[in-house]
Amino acid sequence: MQNRPAIVAVGRTKFGEHYGKEPEKLIEEAWLAASNECNMERKNLEACYMSDCFLPITNKLGLEEGFLSELTELHVPMEVTRSFSAALLTACHAIQAGVYNTVLVGGIEKMTDRWDKIRDDLMLLDDPWSYFAGGTPESNHELMLRAYIKKHHIIGEKLDKLNLALAQVAVKNHANATKNKYAQYQRKITIDQVLKARKTAHKALGLYDFAPISDGASALILTSDTVAKKLNDHPLYVLGTTSATDYLNYPAREDLSHFVACELAMKNASKMAKTALSEMQVIEVYDQSTMMELVSLEDLGFCVPGTAWKSIHEGCQNDQNCYDIDGRQLFVNTNGGLKADGNPLGATGGAQIFEIYRQLRGEAGERQVKFNGSKKSGCVLEYEGFGTKAYVTVLGDKNLE
């Protein structure tokens, strides 16, 4: 990647149920946090790329660009996308092309005000055929689990360990969230609670296997390399960022046990970044369910297909907060993931970037990862829909070249 874009500041709100806050207050809070971090004023911004998925539905906002222009008092070019990673990808292209040198990338969502309606919308937009067949937002996750078990012939004791590994994912993420002041759920849970919830629901995946519906906002300031050096003595570079797509309807895909879009996006992003998987020690994956975190480890290439549950099961012994993969430690969702940090769709990817930024700069506080060697890199995986569109972003120091 030529003329690599750099992140010079990040900001976010706490995720959760913000009934008393209007959307503009949330995005303003995230933007101010980022701008204060690098002393950036609005007059220095040349463009703005924002993301939201449901604001037109939940808050009856039509042309969101006009709403944001009024809020920020900016009349610069402004575009809106469905996910934070989509906004970041578009902004990166603009920086690389030399069109802009300094842009604001942000995301916002206000979902809890219409919790019952949102559930319908989530399933209808993610997979309309499953919706009309009576599927819930959770149903495809369980279908994926069943397809995974069948494809890899997991039975008996292995199946017991797989189910336990999924519970360990939830426990690990909640433990990480207790060290994250922005997280929606800052409390620990136990294996027994996860298993009991499944038994109560009479399903393979229960209450504690899924991420919540959330409100929140996130933001970052993206610049060219030249501007970054003037604003930040340790900017974080976007080494590679790509996307890939798959069929909208999940049951129509050839293989239901994983997401091919993720495989393709990761392959292209790592190639662009010239970064080996072995160099990445910290990653943020899109764990709308514990099953999605497991599958993501395989789709991203860190685990051989059909084996991620073994790495999880072994790595989570003795309250470890990382996975042991081929003799090395991989830290996954150190902020608590979507599972415990929260999942306000348009802002979720920004929180993932926020976490990797803090980790690679050594600013993650209690949850700080100890890196091996001087070169540091990590990646972020974000989805639109149920694996319909995957975005992978590789972040790191520029000295990785």
Predicted local distance difference test score (pLDDT) of residue 401 = 53
Predicted local distance difference test score (pLDDT) of residue 312 = 93
The larger pLDDT score, comparing residue 56 to residue 27, is at 27
Percentage of the residues of the chain whose pLDDT score is greater than 70: 96
Percentage of the residues of the chain whose pLDDT score is greater than 90: 74
The larger pLDDT score, comparing residue 63 to residue 201, is at 201
Write the pLDDT tens digit of every residue in 331-354.
Answer: 999 999 999 999 999 999 999 999
pLDDT at 75 over 80: no
pLDDT at 206 over 70: yes
pLDDT at 154 over 90: yes
| Averaged pLDDT score across all residues of the chain | 92
Identify the structural domains of the chain with CATH numbers, from first to last: 6-115+213-231 (3.40.47.10)
Write the pLDDT tens digit of every residue in 214-243.
Answer: 999 999 999 999 999 999 888 999 999 999
Q: What is the pTM of this model?
A: 0.95
Calculate mean pLDDT across residues 161-185: 97
Confidence of residue 22 (pLDDT cuts 50, 70, 90): confident
Calculate mean pLDDT across residues 179-185: 98
Q: What is the 3-state secondary structure (H, E, C) of the chain?
A: CCCCCEEEEEEECCCECCCCCCHHHHHHHHHHHHHHHHCCCHHHCCEEEEECCCHHHHCCCCCHHHHHHHHHCCCCCEEEECCHHHHHHHHHHHHHHCCCCEEEEEEEEECHHHHHHHHHHHHHHHCHHHHHCCCCCCHHHHHHHHHHHHHCCCCHHHHHHHHHHHHHHHHHHHHHHCCCCCCCCCCCCCHHHHHHHHHHHCCCCCHHHECCCCEEEEEEEEECHHHHHHHCCCCEEEEEEEEEECCCCHHHCCCCCCCHHHHHHHHHHHHHHCCCHHHEEEEECCCCEHHHHHHHHHHCCCCCCCCHHHHHHHHCHHHCCCEEECCEEEEECCCCHHHHHCCCHHHHHHHHHHHHHHHHCCCCHHHCCCCCCCCCEEEEEEEECCCCEEEEEEEECHHHC
Predicted local distance difference test score (pLDDT) of residue 244 = 98
Write the pLDDT tens digit of every residue in 247-297.
Answer: 999 999 999 999 999 999 999 999 999 999 989 999 999 999 999 999 999
